[in-house]
Amino acid sequence: MAIYHLSVKSISRSAGRSVVAAAAYRAGQELTDERQGLTHDYTRKQGVEDAFIVAPDGADWAQDRNALWNAAEAAEKRKDAKTGREYELALPAELDAGARKELARDFAAELVERYGVVADVAIHEPGREGDNRNHHAHILTTTRTAGADGLGAKTRVLDVASTASGEIERLREVWARQVNQALERHQVEQRVDHRSFERQGNEQEPTRHMGVSATALERQAGRENPGREPVTDLGKQNAEIRERNRVLETARKAVEKAQELFSGLEKRARLAVGLARKIGQRMEREREAERQRKELARQAEIRREMQRQQDIRAAEEARKAAEMERQKRRAKEIEQPTFRRSRDRGPSIGF
């Protein structure tokens, strides 16, 4: 999985260090420290994949590595002056060389824009001993702003205790965001987190810092007998920590897989419940429509029956009226014929 690492260190004269020598070593070049009159030749150093300088607009002179770092040395007068600042970054092994270079340049550009300094970037391959995923970059920056006329004011935000920790935390967050954006662009699933295991709620335990001596002993033992167990106490402790972390990581992935499976089942169950609810609602609507249809049919039948009854009553009344009219006419007919017979009989004729 992608590894997160960002550390910030100072190059200080109080520790007997020269920023010219540091730049020569990291870039794998030959540089001359004019203040000390010493030449530092690291042209035979292996593992330097690329080296380049990112400078503010107008500071074209800073592209000369020898001129840049001698100017940084010359700008400081104090015996304990900080002449440079180093940012060490772990570059994701999941990316190719071009993407790793672009990522390192992006962070260097962020430093240049944020502080107005010059950034000297050296990208290193993994060492022949140790983790072959350990692609990393060293970014040396000046401790002063840079412009067309040379170095200017000192940058203090990372030197003052009241601001340094918060500023470094923001830089760590920036680096994590840039790494994750690069992984996403290149369709790599893994992500990094700048927070400590404790802040992440992660049960994994960080390994112990080995130091120069213990690291050298472990590398020597590895060359003499590849694959052997660690020989130093710190090496053994770290091996135990890594094994515990491996077990924890395996368990965590198993839990995540189970949660993912449960989540999938839960999602399917929710979909099934939703589908059943929709089917039930549709069936209820259909039943309601059928009830309404039947009710309308019943009411129509009632109206038809009522109309039929009205028609029957009307017919009966009409029949009765006709019957009464007929009886009246008969009664008249009975009276009238008697009257006509007596009138039409005429005089009697005797024989």
Which domains does the chain possess? 6-194 (3.30.930.30)
Q: Does residue 103 surpass a pLDDT of 90?
A: yes
Per-residue burial over 54-69, b if 16 or more Cβ lie within 10 Å, else e, is: bbbeebebbeebbebb
Q: Does residue 199 surpass a pLDDT of 50?
A: no
CA atoms within 13 A on the CB side of 239: 12
Q: 31 phi and psi, to 5 degrees?
A: -130, 150
Per-residue burial over 75-109, b if 16 or more Cβ lie within 10 Å, else e, is: bbeeeebbbbbbbebbbbbbbeeebbbebbbbbbe
pLDDT band at 351 (very low <50, low <70, confident <90, very high): very low
Cβ neighbours of residue 151 closer than 8 Å, sequence gap 6 or more? 71, 72, 75, 142, 144, 145
**Do residues 93 and 133 lie in contact, with contact meaning Cβ atoms separated by under 8 Å?**
yes
Q: Does residue 249 surpass a pLDDT of 70?
A: no
What pLDDT was estimated at residue 130?
A: 59
Q: How far apart are CA 222 and CA 241, in angstroms?
A: 19
Q: Does residue 198 surpass a pLDDT of 60?
A: no
Report the range of poorest mean pLDDT among 60-64, 207-211, 332-336.
207-211
Mean pLDDT, the chain, rounded, equals 85
Residues in the chain, how many?
351
What pLDDT was estimated at residue 40?
A: 97
Instruction: Give the pair of three-digit tokens for residue 145.
Output: 């702003």
Report the range of poorest mean pLDDT among 111-125, 180-194, 226-240, 300-314.
226-240
User: What is the C-alpha R_g of the chain?
Assistant: 51
**What value does the mean pLDDT take over residues 100-114?**
97
Give the pTM.
0.60
What pLDDT was estimated at residue 349?
A: 52
What pLDDT was estimated at residue 110?
A: 97
Report the range of poorest mean pLDDT among 17-26, 115-124, 150-159, 182-191.
182-191
What pLDDT was estimated at residue 14?
A: 93
With both helix axes pointing from N to C terminus, report the angle between 65-74 and 19-27 in degrees, rounded to the nearest 10: 160
